[in-house]
Amino acid sequence: MLKRAEIAVAALLLFATAGFAQDDGRFDVSLNGMGVISTHSSGQGIELKPTKSGGPLISFRFRFNEKSSIIANFSSTRNSQIFTLGSDIYRVHSTVSEFSLGYVFNPIQIGKFEPFLLAGAGSLSFNPGDTFINTFQVPIASAKQTKLGYVYGGGVDYRVRPHIAVRLQYRGMVYRAPNFKNASLFTGALGQMAVPWSASGFAA
């Protein structure tokens, strides 16, 4: 399923690149650098504290008009999901990948500044790597897990040239905390992956 999503996103990006030649301003592609902070969550006597991380965010946007557009996103980051169970601390190294679609609303344009709000939904894929229990590497039962997430945020685009702009934005994604299909790590709690800053340049 995720491989199909990767192919779909790649196809959208290629379609967007082809759209540049039309010079109608309907398509844009942005490459972002982002910082990621995931909130702490707890449940079932287990506390989960993901570490801070960073990574790339690629977005493709199609504009219907001056105020409304849809956006497709792909991001990837590496962090550690740290589970505390009594006196035991499980550290699961993981790769977290996002595929999402959303609606973008541009309420107003002020000179070269164009603020926006966004909301949408997608998937977060948690792929486990090495696992450590109390600093010792230990093989435990774990598997790749995909969670439904809800995206929200906002920001502003600053038009540098007719077809080049800089984007600053905040994004958040709410989801069910992962347990890598291991019942011992299940919290049942909600988690949130916040991107307090995301800066990019894009062509449209």
Closest CA to 167 of 182, 183, 155: 155
The token duo for 170 is: 């905040």
Lowest-confidence region among 53-62, 74-83, 153-162 = 153-162
For 178, which DSSP code? P
Band of pLDDT at residue 30, cut at 50, 70 and 90: confident
Q: Are 31 and 202 in contact (CB under 8 A)?
A: yes
CA dist., res. 130 & res. 122, Å (int): 26
User: Element (H or E) spanning 8, and its range?
Assistant: helix 2-20
The token duo for 124 is: 């977060």
pTM equals 0.81
Q: Has residue 56 got a pLDDT over 80?
A: yes
pLDDT value of residue 15: 40
Number of domains in the chain: 1
Tell me, what CATH number does 175's domain have? 2.40.160.20
- pLDDT tens-place string over residues 91-121: 999 999 999 999 999 999 999 899 999 999 9
pLDDT value of residue 163: 76
pLDDT value of residue 198: 60
- Residue 184, classed as helix, strand or coil, is helix
Domain with 137, as residue range(s), is 2-203
Query: Tokens 């988690």 identify what position?
Result: 191
- pLDDT tens-place string over residues 114-123: 999 999 999 9
pLDDT value of residue 199: 59
How far, in whole angstroms, is CA 194 from its chain's centroid? 9
- pLDDT tens-place string over residues 131-186: 999 999 988 889 999 999 999 999 998 888 777 888 888 999 999 999 999 999 99
- Residue 48, classed as helix, strand or coil, is strand
Pairing of strands 164-176, 145-161: antiparallel
CA dist., res. 78 & res. 36, Å (int): 10
